[in-house]
Amino acid sequence: MCGIVGLFAKTDDVQARLGAHLASMLLEMNDRGPDSAGVAFYRRPAPAGGSKLTLHHPDLGYDWAALAAGAAAEFGGEPDVHRRDNHAVVTVDGPADEAEAWVDAAHPEVRLMSAGSVIEIYKEVGLPRAFVERFGVAELDGSHALGHTRMATESRVTTDGSHPFSTGLDLCLVHNGSLSNHNRVRKHLRREGIAFRTENDSEVAAGYLMWRMREGATLDQALEGCLEDLDGFYTFAVGTADGFAVLRDPIACKPAVLAETDEWVAMASEYRAIATLPGAEEARIWEPEPATVYSWERVAA
């Protein structure tokens, strides 16, 4: 099964309460995915020239201050770290790819959840209801966010196997469905230099998008490539620095509902998640067509 939710704010008010809205949407999808949950929030951009890393360490007593001090010594600036349960967001005064490489080398004990200028990814095993509490999802603000509740089918229930999957700087993917050719595609992508941490099928879709965009494809082109190269059932939602995109496979067995008002754009596996939003009863509501890429972007003011 699995549940997907996404919310894109069009007003300051929705931005300020984005976490509260997304949390109530995610709670409605609790029963569709009781194994694990996760969210990607796009919020509070790093200062120009800087970047944000979201990191995970299973030990709640992990010394994040020391890690942040190390980053500041390496890149300059003041140490800047915000812990959220067993995750932490570290802001670094340097480009994201360099910060990522530094963490990999200096702190192999932590796992990178996301890297970029605005993205923060939090995910953990257990009931979505518990996840929302533990990580204080309702407190988060942001311009847009995606969430996922997982009912595992293709691989183990682990933090790494939870969604969203990072697919590159400021990019992430959530998936409802199952891919049938993921072993073959993973083998191909490994030869292309894409690294995988799990046997998870959705991670292969994330790796596929990463590879296509590394080779020069736009997000829309990379998603259209999925229609050719990925076999199986899927509704994908992809978060970008400026917005999000939705794609369903040509058979479209997996559900998706889109809704839009003057204040927000929302997507969810089921309408009942959207029903929690203000003005949902008056929203324009439709089902995305199969094999069609839908995307929203924030227009620079």
| Catalytic residue set | 2
Q: Which residue has the tokens 């939003």?
A: 277
CA distance 206 to 16: 29
Does residue 227 belong to the site contacting another protein (CB under 8 A)?
no
Side by side, the strands of the sheet bearing 3-9 are: 119-125, 36-42, 144-150, 3-9, 264-268, 257-260, 284-286
CA distance 138 to 145: 12
Let me know: does 56 contact 166? Beta carbons within 8 Å: no
Does residue 278 belong to the site contacting another protein (CB under 8 A)?
no
Least distance from another protein to the Cβ atom of residue 273, Å: 8
For 200, phi and psi rounded to 5 degrees?
-75, 135
Does residue 151 belong to the site contacting another protein (CB under 8 A)?
no
Least distance from another protein to the Cβ atom of residue 269, Å: 10
Does residue 70 belong to the site contacting another protein (CB under 8 A)?
no
54-72 b/e (C-beta count within 10 Å ≥ 16 → b): bbbbeeeebebeebbebbb
Closer residue to another protein, CB minimum distance, 140 or 237: 237
| Contacts of another protein in 180-209 (CB under 8 A) | none
Stretch that binds another protein, among 3-11, 40-48, 135-143, 265-273 (CB under 8 A): 265-273
Does residue 287 belong to the site contacting another protein (CB under 8 A)?
yes
**Residue of the chain from 112, 138, 227, 285 that contacts another protein (CB under 8 A):** 285
**Could you tell me which of 287, 41, 296 has the C-alpha nearest to residue 147?**
41
| Contacts of another protein in 3-32 (CB under 8 A) | none
Beta bridge partners of 48: none
Least distance from another protein to the Cβ atom of residue 271, Å: 4
| Contacts of another protein in 233-262 (CB under 8 A) | 252, 255, 257
Which stretches of the chain bind another protein, using CB under 8 A? 252, 255, 257, 270-276, 281, 285-287, 289-290
